[in-house]
Amino acid sequence: MMISRPASPRRRVPDMRLSTLRGMGETAIITGAAGGIGAAAARRLAAAGARCVLVDRDPGVSDMAAAIGGTALVGDLTDPELSERAVAEAGDGLRLLVLNAGTNCADKDPATLDLDRYRAVVGVNQHSVTYGLRAALPVLRRGGGGSIVVTASLAALHGVEQDPIYTMTKHAVIGLVRALSGPLSREGIRLSAVCPGLVDTPLTAGARDRFQAAGIPMLSADEVAAAIEETLRSGEPGTELVVHPGRPPVRYVQAPIP
């Protein structure tokens, strides 16, 4: 449900708009950056002057980094050490963090769930977000603040029966954003989420023809990346930005608990 109501008062956080940060030597970390949304976000941030550290298990992330003058780290984000390496590579200039890596799950019935696949999906979609925050927050605090956006999904806001495990992990991510955005905002760190509908990326490539045949519209990766960049720069702490094809992005506001 999307409803409108006045936003609750918040402590003012440092202005992190594009015009403020250009030329200040900021560094951004983007996970899941070999293609799709992560690559599109990296291109946008690099064009705005950020030094980018790109992280992905796909070795193609090295080509992406070379194309934008960034740095690539290839590895498995379910290992917390990779997030620590990314933060070390970013150094004290780290100001922007895009926790974008994600994957879906083929299993619909828990009774026949492949446990190795389950652990892998939860590791990428859920644990790697926590690992990224754990590694980055000390640097952002030392630097006086920063901005973090997690790529969630419409599946974070309602149940998607076609992929219940993916839905579970995205709900967990939104729960983390809701719980941490207030405390972090008081330290000058913005934490938000972008929740897109279907996006035309390598993750959905196998079903693209079916979506098109059914007349289901899809977002481009760059449309979602634009929403990520805008949220990084000027979004309110705790923003859950819903992105639908053909519509302006809109902030999702939870209904009050009865």
CATH of the domain at 25: 3.40.50.720
Q: Is residue 54 part of a domain?
A: yes
Residue 214: per-residue pLDDT: 59
Q: Is residue 5 part of a domain?
A: no
Residues constituting the chain:
258
Q: Is residue 253 part of a domain?
A: no
Residue 7: per-residue pLDDT: 38
Give rounded-to-5 percent helix, strand, coil for the chain.
45, 15, 35
Q: Is residue 59 part of a domain?
A: yes
Per DSSP (E only), the strands in the chain are 27-31, 51-56, 71-74, 94-99, 146-151, 189-196, 199-200, 219-220, 240-243, 250-251
Residue 3: per-residue pLDDT: 37
Q: Annotated catalytic sites, by residue?
A: 166
Residue 12: per-residue pLDDT: 39
Residue 2: per-residue pLDDT: 39
Taking only the tens place, the pLDDT of each residue in 178-222 is: 999 999 999 999 999 999 987 776 665 565 666 565 567 778 999
Q: Which domain holds residue 51?
A: 18-245
Cut 0.85: pTM above it: yes
Taking only the tens place, the pLDDT of each residue in 36-63 is: 999 999 999 999 999 999 999 999 999 9
Rounded Cα–Cα distance for residues 252 and 110 (Å): 30
Taking 50 as the pLDDT cut, the residues of the chain under it are: 1-23
Q: Is residue 99 part of a domain?
A: yes
